[in-house]
A and B are shown apart, each in its own frame.
Chain A
Amino acid sequence: MAKRLLRNRTETEEILLRHSDTVYKIAYLRTGNKHDAEDIMQEVFLRFVKYSPDFTNSEHEKAWFIRTTINRTNSFFTSAWKRRVVPLDEAIKTYDEMSYSEVLDAVMQLPKDISTAIHLYYYEDMTVKEISETMNKSESAIKSLLFRGRKLLKLSLEDTYR
């Protein structure tokens, strides 16, 4: 059973702010829109305060936030709430026109596991080993995800890729 650590308000705020960007980006990538991303971010923060886990080092701390975000977006997809039929206009991914990017759009169209691996590798600069530990898959599987992702991206970004 993991022990809960006593942290004061300042410490907690500091930690949440430190990882808010990371959490939001992964949540956005996996849910496809900023409203759901904000909801997930809230859920992750709540869980952090509730369980207040102890970390052995800063990598462990970051990995916790990434893993929790991934897990919460999993439950998000399978929960009854999400499975009900959603009207089309709510389901459309909302993009801020200014920040629209073909490359980002292409990544977000990929299957969730693949886009997450791509994000952790290219944006978070994690190694295959670190990604495999965070996503609970073998290194072989992560390599396959990355390879498959690059292949699919190449197809959908023929002109902008390289």
Chain B
Amino acid sequence: MFEKKYKNAMDRVIPNQEALDNAINNAISKPKSIKNPVKIVLIACLSVSLICTSVFAAFKLSENENPPANLTIPNATQNNNLDDSIDDTKDIASSLSEQGFKYAENYEEIYESLKNANNFFYDGTIGDAEVEEPMEDEYTAPGSTDESPAAPEFSNTNNQVLGVQEGDVVKTDGLYIYHLSKSQDKVCIISAKDGITNIVSEITLPSVNNSMFVFELLLIKNTLVIIGETNSYPNDTVCMYYDLTDRSKPVKADETTQSGDYKDCRVVDGLVYTISQKYSYVYSENDNEDYTYTDIIPEINGELIGCEDLLISDVLSNSFTVITAYDTANKEQKSSLALLGECGTIYCSTENIYLVSNSNIYANNEPYSENEISVYESSINSKILRVSLNQGDITANGAACINGSINNQFSLDEKNGLLRVAATLYPVTYTYNGDFSSAKHEDSYSKVYSLDAELKIIGESEPLGVTETIKSVRYLGDIAYVVTFRQTDPLYAIDLTNPESPKTLSELKIKGFSTYMQSYGPDYMLGIGYEATLEGATNGIKLTMFDISNPADIFDVSTESFLWYDGYGYIHTEALNNHKAVLIDHKKGIIGIPFATETPINTNDWYYEYKQAIEYKLFNFDGKELTVGKSIEIPLKDGAEYWYGNEMRSLYIGDYLYVVLDSGLVSINLSDYSIVDTENY
């Protein structure tokens, strides 16, 4: 077995003892003084900002007990003198400059910033921000039939926001299924009628010759968008636009490229927004090197992005977040924007894209001094940049700084132009004495913030789940459901009807925790997550149906658990952290979730042999009990890797369910669960 052999071989790769001892000794005894002039400047800036914030603190009269959530950048916020911060190359919204954003004046500025970033070198991120798939916060809307009047009702990708399409490996318009098979390096277009399927055409992808990775599809009327990434330096994100007028002969109509690894995409009103992340390394030891700007500045379709579309911030970074807008109606790239800054989480409403930074910035709140030792109460902050979609003319028009770190895209929600954000705070007190500081980490806790149209924080909930961290969030109307966890799972219902004073309506404590939640009709909410012991150790997977008809009194109606090492060796579902794997339709009474299992069959001292299987489960909920209605074992192709490369999805068209694996699909009659047809590629 590969794993065993690789482990054995790697176990023998160890450093020579003498070399290791030398390396440690050299590191420890090297003088610690900072010679790099940039560091001296940074420390000077820190001292200056210390002085400014202490001066500010002295003048501040009214205090609430919560630490101010905005990163205190001296000068910009405290004087109401915005002229200081308006960049003369381009007008900029005041909240943007308050948060330290400005447009680049020239590429040289970018080069210097990248060099500083590399010298300073960020440590690893805390790692909370993660791109998750979005889901609607109302009932899953059946697909629209405006394109094909003859198509029966069908399910869409499980998008977070109604009207905002997300990418996925499977798409349907009720007549055809479009499936990206990563293992086969092709997209199959399959006709589907009454459960009978036929492969109508195939698009062979460039990934077949190992030059690309292909990730997902978008479907906009008669256009199929295939999104991938070249896998040799410099990595570019590629969008291929196919014309589907004749499904049996799809024709590539256009192709766009932008620098960077593919990050995410959205479609709103026929406009495709593609987001990528480009890393640029500039090393001061290479000062004699000839760096051309094409090495470091992002390109759109082969052309360097202009400074008027290039935002720089006061946070050092060696990566760019690049956004482009493509108009499928007029078949043209409409606008683009790049930010010198890493993006952790992306949330998109019908009006705006919000980019949330990775949380590695520390806020200086109210520092105070005792005997020349300064003490800072700090926490991790996340910066939020709002980019208005503007029908494809994307513009950065606001920024905010939130005390805390964001779990995933479901932590954000925009309603009536106001943004709500749920974050976990990690307060820490640093005692600063010259060069070094010692840290005292306090209990973590979470909050839900309301921000106004200018992205100023206007309301905060009370601290939630002290000592815990957020595991999942779902906004349904004006109620925010927040799950925090360390040992037990409090599920909070926070009322945001009055954004200026969020109110905790109820708190439900149960074992385990949900990593994903979706509404099931107006009265219920399904939580998918982990079972855990009373001590907080996870020991399986569970689905819980919550009664949310009265948010002031939420309770768990019924739970279906699948414990590890109890019947199953190990069971997993992609639904735990990918909402696109979940099919929920309250009106049709469908709850469909794919599971992957691993059962040991031949154990001895050395290793387990195990049987891998895929089971697709349809759950029933009658208002009282959540039960497995039907469990369908999906046959695996010989030797198929079932964990990855076999991203499972399901969708329905009329009365037929289609369970899609990477290497084929199966159609099932929903009335008797019989298998009607299969396709294997």
Residues of A within 8 A of B (CB): 1-6, 9, 12-13, 16-17, 20-21, 24-25, 28, 34, 37-38, 41-42, 45-54, 56, 59-60, 63-64, 66-68, 71, 74-75, 78-80, 99, 101, 103-104, 107, 111, 113, 118-119, 122-123, 128-130, 132-134, 136-141, 143-148, 150, 152-153, 157, 160-162
Taken together as a complex, chains A and B put the C-alpha atoms of A59 and B127 apart, in Å, by: 10
| Contacting pair A54 B342 (CB below 8 A) | no
B639: chain A residues at CB < 8 Å are: 162
Beta-carbon contact of A37 and B30 below 8 Å = no
> How far is it, in angstroms, between the C-alpha of A129 and the C-alpha of B263 when the chains are bound?
14
Partner of B27, one of A49, A63, A66: A49
Cβ of A75 and Cβ of B283 under 8 Å apart?
A: yes
Q: Which of B9, B32, B127 contacts A101 (CB 8 A)?
A: B9
Q: B227's closest neighbor in chain A, by CB?
A: A140
Contact at A147–B644, with CB atoms within 8 Å?
Answer: yes
What residues of A have a CB within 8 angstroms of the CB of B3 in the complex? 122
B2 touches A161 (CB 8 A): yes
Partner among B13, B123, B183, B430 whose Cβ is within 8 Å of the Cβ of A25 = B13
Q: Chain B residues near A25 (CB, 8 Å)?
A: 10, 13-14
Q: Which of A2, A37, A78, A103 contacts B9 (CB 8 A)?
A: A103
Given contacts A101-B5, A138-B263, contact A41 B15 (CB under 8 A): yes
Question: Measured between alpha carbons, how far is A52 from B305 in the docked complex, in Å?
Answer: 36
What residues of A have a CB within 8 angstroms of the CB of B603 in the complex?
Answer: none
Query: What is the CB-to-nearest-CB distance from B663 to chain A, in angstroms, rounded to a whole number?
Result: 12
Q: Are B125 and A42 in contact, CB atoms less than 8 angstroms apart?
A: no
B432: which of A3, A67, A139, A147 is its contact (CB, 8 Å)?
A3
Give the residue among A28, A113, A123 with the most B Cβ atoms within 10 A: A123
Query: In whole angstroms, how far apart are the Cα atoms of A71 and B319 in the complex?
Result: 13
The reply to whether B428 and A153 form a contact with Cβ atoms under 8 Å apart is no
CB closest residue in chain B, given A72: B121
**A120 CB to nearest B CB, Å:** 11
Given the interface pairs A25-B13, A38-B19, A71-B121, the reply to whether A9 lies near B28 with Cβ below 8 Å is yes
Give the residues in chain A near B216, CB-CB below 8 Å.
140
Contact A42–B14 (Cβ < 8 Å): no
Q: Is the CB of B182 closer than 8 A to any CB of chain A?
A: yes
Closest chain A residue to B12, Cβ basis? A99
* Contacting pair B426 A56 (CB below 8 A): yes
* Chain B neighbourhood of A49, CB < 8 A: 27-28, 30, 32
Known: A123-B10, A136-B277. A144 touches B28 (CB 8 A): no
Chain B, 216-253, contact with A by CB distance < 8 Å: what is the 0/1 string?
10000000000001010000000000000000000000
Is B436's CB under 8 angstroms from A136's CB? no
Whether A42 and B27, one on each chain, are in contact in the complex, defined by CB atoms closer than 8 angstroms, is yes
Cβ of B468 within 8 Å of any chain A Cβ, yes or no, is no
A148 cross-chain contacts in B, Cβ below 8 A? 210, 213, 231
Cβ contact within 8 Å between B2 and A52: no
Q: Give B residues with C-beta under 8 Å from A.
A: 1-3, 5-10, 12-16, 19-20, 22-24, 26-28, 30, 32, 34, 42, 46, 118, 121-127, 130-131, 182-183, 210, 213, 215-216, 229, 231, 261-264, 277, 279, 281, 283, 285-286, 288-289, 319, 342, 360-362, 376, 378, 426, 428, 430, 432-433, 435-439, 441, 577-578, 639, 641, 644-645, 647
Q: Shortest beta-carbon distance, A12 to chain B, in Å?
A: 6
Distance in Å from the Cβ of B516 to the closest Cβ of chain A? 13
From known contacts A6-B436, A49-B30, infer whether A78 and B283 are also in contact, taking CB-CB under 8 Å: yes
Q: CB-CB < 8 A to A141: which residues of B? A: 213, 215, 229, 261-262
Residue contact B279 to A136, C-beta cutoff 8 Å:
yes
The residue in chain B whose Cβ has the minimal distance to the Cβ of A146 is: B644
Whether the Cβ atoms of B436 and A52 lie closer than 8 Å is yes
Q: Which chain B residue shows the least CB distance to A49? A: B27
Contact of B14 among A9, A24, A51, A54 (CB under 8 A): A24
16 A-B residue pairings within 8 Å (CB atoms): A1-B362, A9-B28, A38-B16, A49-B27, A49-B28, A49-B30, A49-B32, A50-B30, A50-B32, A67-B124, A68-B124, A123-B6, A123-B10, A139-B130, A140-B262, A143-B647
Residues of A within 8 A of B426 (CB): 56
Q: Is the CB of A46 within 8 A of B26?
A: yes
Residue of A nearest to B435 (CB): A4
Q: Please report the C-alpha to C-alpha distance between residue A54 and residue B19 in the assembled complex, in whole angstroms.
A: 26
Across-interface contacts of A9 in B (CB, < 8 A): 28
Q: A49-B32, A75-B281, A157-B2 are in contact. Are A137 and B360 (CB under 8 A)?
A: no
Candidate in B124, B342, B438 with the most chain A CB atoms within 10 angstroms: B124
Interchain nearest-CB distance for A107 vs B (Å): 7
Is the beta-carbon distance between B286 and A80 smaller than 8 angstroms? yes
